[in-house]
Amino acid sequence: MDTELGWLALTLVPGVGARTFHRLLQHFGSPEGVFTAPRSHLEQVPGLKEDTIDAIRSFPSDKGAKLEMARLRELGMRVIRWGTEEYPHFLANISDPPPLLYIKGTLAEEDERAVAVVGSRHASAYGLNVCITLCRDLAWQGWTVVSGMARGIDSAAHSGALAGNGRTLAVMGTGLDVIYPRENRKLSESIAASGAIITEFPLGTPPEPGNFPLRNRLISGLSLGTVVVEATAKSGSLITARMALEQGRQVFAVPGPIDRRGVEGTHRLIKEGAKLVERAEDIIEELMPMLARTSCVEAAEGKGGPTRRQPELDERERQLWDILGMEPLHIDAIARQLDISVSRAAEILLNLEVRGLVKQLPGTFFIRGFHK
């Protein structure tokens, strides 16, 4: 059994969640070691239940994994294994990362610059409008929007990012082949074309209530910060906010009208220290230092994700690259800072954009792109 099939097989065993998988992997070294271990050795793994041991011993590991993999390929989907370069490194560093991510669409390096936006399934017109505008503006400025593709605020978050011609990631609490809610099937296709749909659950997994708190830790784990737009005092969005805090991420909240029900949760978050959000810039200003610190730590320690080398640039390209950051800069300002004509600045920017080193935003604003 190859490595990918082995990992897939072990995740398919009933009772083997993310934490159990990592305990087993640490104890036996590989999924194959788990499946071939005698019962007495399995019983030595702390916290491993008898019924889980029975499931491991009886699971048709090779056949089950091959059937799942064949079905994934037939549907144009795939899996990404924890510990590989493609696995999102912010998610990889939470306490219980999924061993496998099921993916439809593509993950990109710029998804490291991601913001989660969540909220009520029964959002008001005010909340929906604020959410769409906020996510559109985030997308315009090169940020990936992450949400859960639920009704209400989640759907508005994805729609706003798509309206901003940006990337968006949807994290599901079902298998990739089970679109929930059903009316979001068309939206799911647009998301997969402009980002990715992600889940840790195997094909065919239905929308069971217990799946969604697990799903929420992925939403926050993929993101530098989580924004809550409209939430009641018992909203599931508050679970996502709590998980973001536990993961060391920033929490934001959009205030609502004080005389309207359904905003108690967001107002409580603000009282407890969440940053109040009125516009996309409020989020970006708070997250930029965190993104910079993360990049510096990784460069110093040589870990936490793929290593980036400095791009090969000539003198003028280097000067332009040095003045660009993640904050949008207008082409006129770039030309002034370099003391060159706007047409010359446009020529240099085009060369860098073709190489993926610069990203153009609406209104001839520019930010740095990502390079490998």
Q: What is the CATH number of the domain that holds 219?
A: 3.40.50.450
| Structural domain range at position 343 | 315-368
276 and 193, same structural domain? yes
Residue 270 structure tokens: 């603000």
Domain count, the chain: 3
270 and 141, same structural domain? yes
Tokens 């009704």 — which residue? 151
**11/81 Cα distance (integer angstroms):** 11
pLDDT for the residue 312? 78
Phi, psi of 179 (to 5 degrees): -80, 125
170 falls within a domain: yes
pLDDT for the residue 372? 43
225 and 150, same structural domain? yes
Domain boundary among 26, 53, 74: 74
264 and 142, same structural domain? yes
**208/161 Cα distance (integer angstroms):** 27
164 and 109, same structural domain? yes
119 and 22, same structural domain? no
Sheet containing strand 275-276, edge to edge, reads 78-81, 100-105, 195-199, 168-171, 144-147, 114-119, 225-229, 250-254, 275-276
Q: What is the pairing mode between strands 144-147 and 114-119?
A: parallel
Q: What is the CATH number of the domain that holds 11?
A: 1.10.150.20
pLDDT for the residue 323? 86
89 falls within a domain: no
Low-confidence ranges of the chain (pLDDT < 70): 1, 292-311, 325-327, 370-372
157 and 275, same structural domain? yes
Q: What's the first-to-final CA gap in the chain, in angstroms?
A: 32
260 and 111, same structural domain? yes
pLDDT for the residue 34? 94
One-letter amino acid at 55 equals A
pLDDT for the residue 240? 95
pTM (2 decimals)? 0.82
Residues sharing a CB contact under 8 Å with residue 133, sequence separation 6 or more, in sequence order: 160
pLDDT for the residue 75? 96
pLDDT for the residue 325? 67
Q: Are the C-beta atoms of 228 and 251 separated by less than 8 Å?
A: yes
